[in-house]
Chains A and B, each alone.
Chain A
C-alpha cells in the first residue's frame, strides 16, 4: 500500500522563550492540517516525536498531553529515540498507515530546550549515551569529536572541510525564514570560533533550539483526493550499540548505512538518484560522515566535495544537502528535527520552497540519527510523477 504526505509545516526554530510546547505544536499542526484540508477529527492516530519532555519538563504522558491540546481523542503515542525521535515517529506513523490500520495519521515532532539551563540540557541529552559514557562524564560534543578525530586520522580529513559544512548550512539558512540563524559565516570564522571539544569548535556545533514540526501521512486512497501528495517510497530504521566503544568502526555509522540500504532497496533507487537531502548535521563531522554513509561519496571523499561547494544551492550539479540550513543553522530542537527534515523535503518536492528551491527535483531523502549513531532513520520521497526525471 502506498503512503503519502499531505500537509507538512514547521514553526519558527530558535530561542522561543515566550512560546510554550503546547503553542508550538498547535501552530505546526494547524498549518499542516489546513494544508491537508483535514480537521483534527479526521485524524486516526497521533505520533509525537520528542526526547526530553520527561527529563527536562517532567512530562511523561506526551501522547495524551498533546492530544488534549489538539482536541484529539484517538490513539496518541510518544516515540523517543534521542535526536532521531522525530524520524522514528514519522516511521511509525507511516508503518501504521501502510499496514492499513489507519488512513490519516498526524506526526508531530517537538522540543522545548531553551527554557532550561545549558548544563541541564547537556545532562538530559546524555540520556542518549551509554552507561559507561555517562560515568566517564563525556557529552555529545566530545563523542562527535572522537568521530572527527578518527576520520581525520584515517582519511586526512581537515578542520577546513568540517567548517565547510557549517558555511554551506548557514548560507542555506539565510534563505529560510524559519531558521534559528540567518547569518553567513566563513571557514575562517568557524576555525576562529571557541573550541568546544577539539577539533570541534562552536561553529561546528548545532544550537540548542525550540521548535515543532508536523506532517500528515495518508493512505493512497485518501491521497488521491487531496492536494499534491508526496509519496514515501522507501524507509529504513536500524540500531547499533549505544556507546562508541561497542562499534566495529567509528569513521562511519553502521546504523545509518543499514537504514539507508533498507530505504534504497524499498524505493528501488540508489544514491545517484537523490537530488535533495536533509541529513543529520548535529556537528559538522556528522554531515560529512552522513554523505559517505548514504553513498553520495566514497569514504574519505566527502570533505573535498564540501570544500568544492558541490552540495550548495546554486552550485550543486546533482545533489543539494540540507537546503533548510540543517541542524547546524536551521536549529536542532531534537524531537522536531526528524519531522522538520520531512517537511523540508516535501516542500522541495512540491516546488514550494521559494528562494531555497532546488530546481527540478523529484527524489529526496531524509537522514535522522539518534545518539552518536545508536539509531538512524532514513526516508526517501518522490514528488509528483511526471515532473521530470531526476538528473542522477
Chain B
C-alpha cells in the first residue's frame, strides 16, 4: 500500500482582486471576472519565493508528528525555482532538518511538476528504495503586466508526505497514469522573466486534450467512471477550464466544487492541483474516492485515483492547516512591488 501520510498547503495571505488589475488597464471588471472565473488571486510577499513557499507547506505537512530524518526522498516541482542551477529541494531539506541520507531533485514541467513528484516518489516507495518521500509543488507564478495571465497567476505551495504503512496512510494511491505530447502552448525560455503563451491554443489542443486524455486512460485502466468517485480535482489555470473539463467528463458540481480554489487564489502553477487535493482531504470522510488530473504545458497530464482510509478522521484532529483563512488585500502598485516588477 502506498499513499498520503500527511499533507500541508500554504497560500500567502496577500490578495489582489481581479477588478483592481482590470481598473488599472481600463478593462471592465465584470467582463474579466466572467470570462476568467477568478475573483482574486494570492500574491507572495516581497520576501517570499518558491523555496520559502515550499518550505512553509512542507513544515505544515510534517508538523510535529513526522520525523524529518525518516524521509528518503524529496522532490520539488516548480516553474519558478529561484535558481537555474542550485536545487530548491536541498534548501527545503536542510531547513526541515531532513539529515543528509536522502535523494533530492528539482522537477520542472510547467504546472504539473508537483504531481510528477508524486508519481516518482510512488515509484521509489514501490521499488523499496525509500519508506517515505516528500513531494512538493510550489510556485510564485509570473506574468507580464497587461498579459491576460496577470489576472490568474497566483502563488502557493503544497507538500505531500507519501509512505507505505497502512497504519498511517490517510489516502491510498489506488492507480495513476499519464498522457504527454510535444504541444508548446505555454513556455518560458532560460533567462526570460515572463512566460509566453499561445492564447486560445492553450485550450482545446493543450489543456483539454491532455486532461481528457489522461482521465479517460485512467477510467479505462481501472474500469471506473465519474459516478464511482466522491470528489474530482483538476488543474485550475483559470476559473473556467476546470469547470468545463469536469462537466465534459460527466462529474457533478458536488464532486467538483470542494477542490475548486482557483476563484480565491488564482493559479499557483505547480501547486494548483495539489492545493485542490488538500482542500478535498480537509473534508473527505473515510473510504471516499478522489479522481485527480493535473496539467502542465508543453504538455502533459498526470491522473490519479486516491481512496481515503479510516485514519483520515483521526489525522484531521491534529491537522494544523488553516488554508485560505488569512487575507490582506493589496493594490496594484503594491502588487508590482511584491512581484518585484518595480
> Contact residues of A with B, CB < 8 Å?
15, 17-18, 114-115, 117-118, 194-195
Main secondary structure of the interface of A (DSSP, over half): loop
Chain A proximity mask over B201-231: 1 for CB below 8 Å, otherwise 0: 1001100000000000000000000000000
Given the complex, which residues of B lie within 8 Å of A17, measured CB to CB?
201, 205
The answer to whether A117 and B196 have CB atoms under 8 Å apart is yes
The count of residues in chain B whose C-beta lies closer than 8 Å to any C-beta of chain A is: 11
Given the complex, which residues of A lie within 8 Å of B28, measured CB to CB?
194-195
**In the complex, how many angstroms separate the beta carbon of A131 from the nearest chain B beta carbon?**
25
Residue in A17, A18, A115, A118 with the greatest tally of chain B CB atoms within 10 Å: A17
CA distance A117 to B196 in the complex (A): 9
CA distance A117 to B187 in the complex (A): 13
The answer to whether B199 and A118 have CB atoms under 8 Å apart is yes
20 residue pairs bridging A and B, Cβ less than 8 Å apart: A15-B200, A15-B201, A15-B204, A17-B201, A17-B205, A18-B205, A114-B200, A114-B201, A115-B198, A115-B201, A117-B196, A117-B197, A117-B198, A117-B199, A118-B199, A194-B28, A194-B31, A194-B35, A195-B28, A195-B31
**In the complex, how many angstroms separate the beta carbon of A244 from the nearest chain B beta carbon?**
23
Residue of B nearest to A17 (CB): B205
**In the complex, how many angstroms separate the beta carbon of B203 from the nearest chain A beta carbon?**
9
Given the complex, which residues of B lie within 8 Å of A15, measured CB to CB?
200-201, 204
**In the complex, how many angstroms separate the beta carbon of A120 from the nearest chain B beta carbon?**
10
Given the complex, which residues of A lie within 8 Å of B199, measured CB to CB?
117-118
**In the complex, how many angstroms separate the beta carbon of B309 from the nearest chain A beta carbon?**
43
CA distance A329 to B201 in the complex (A): 19
Residue in B35, B196, B199, B205 with the greatest tally of chain A CB atoms within 10 Å: B199
CA distance A15 to B203 in the complex (A): 11
The 6 nearest A-B residue pairs measured at CB = A194-B31, A118-B199, A17-B205, A17-B201, A117-B199, A117-B198
**In the complex, how many angstroms separate the beta carbon of B63 from the nearest chain A beta carbon?**
45
**In the complex, how many angstroms separate the beta carbon of B298 from the nearest chain A beta carbon?**
15
Residue of A nearest to B201 (CB): A17
> Contact residues of B with A, CB < 8 Å?
28, 31, 35, 196-201, 204-205
CA distance A15 to B204 in the complex (A): 10
CA distance A143 to B199 in the complex (A): 23
**In the complex, how many angstroms separate the beta carbon of A52 from the nearest chain B beta carbon?**
16
Residue of A nearest to B31 (CB): A194
CA distance A115 to B205 in the complex (A): 12
**In the complex, how many angstroms separate the beta carbon of A343 from the nearest chain B beta carbon?**
26
**In the complex, how many angstroms separate the beta carbon of B16 from the nearest chain A beta carbon?**
21
CA distance A114 to B201 in the complex (A): 8
CA distance A17 to B198 in the complex (A): 11
CA distance A115 to B184 in the complex (A): 11
Given the complex, which residues of A lie within 8 Å of B31, measured CB to CB?
194-195
Residue of A nearest to B197 (CB): A117
Given the complex, which residues of B lie within 8 Å of A194, measured CB to CB?
28, 31, 35
**In the complex, how many angstroms separate the beta carbon of A141 from the nearest chain B beta carbon?**
15
Residue of A nearest to B196 (CB): A117
Given the complex, which residues of B lie within 8 Å of A115, measured CB to CB?
198, 201
**In the complex, how many angstroms separate the beta carbon of A69 from the nearest chain B beta carbon?**
24
CA distance A114 to B197 in the complex (A): 12
Residue of A nearest to B147 (CB): A119
Residue of A nearest to B204 (CB): A15
**In the complex, how many angstroms separate the beta carbon of A382 from the nearest chain B beta carbon?**
40
CA distance A18 to B182 in the complex (A): 12
Residue of B nearest to A121 (CB): B199
Given the complex, which residues of A lie within 8 Å of B196, measured CB to CB?
117
Given the complex, which residues of B lie within 8 Å of A18, measured CB to CB?
205
CA distance A114 to B205 in the complex (A): 12
CA distance A81 to B173 in the complex (A): 60
CA distance A114 to B35 in the complex (A): 20
Given the complex, which residues of A lie within 8 Å of B197, measured CB to CB?
117
CA distance A195 to B31 in the complex (A): 9
Residue of A nearest to B35 (CB): A194
CA distance A18 to B204 in the complex (A): 12
Residue of B nearest to A195 (CB): B28
Residue of A nearest to B32 (CB): A194
CA distance A117 to B35 in the complex (A): 19
CA distance A17 to B196 in the complex (A): 17
Given the complex, which residues of A lie within 8 Å of B198, measured CB to CB?
115, 117
Given the complex, which residues of A lie within 8 Å of B35, measured CB to CB?
194
**In the complex, how many angstroms separate the beta carbon of B70 from the nearest chain A beta carbon?**
48
**In the complex, how many angstroms separate the beta carbon of B186 from the nearest chain A beta carbon?**
11
Q: A194-B35, A195-B28 are in contact. List 11 more A-B contacts (CB 8 A).
A: A15-B200, A15-B204, A18-B205, A114-B201, A115-B198, A117-B197, A117-B198, A117-B199, A118-B199, A194-B28, A195-B31
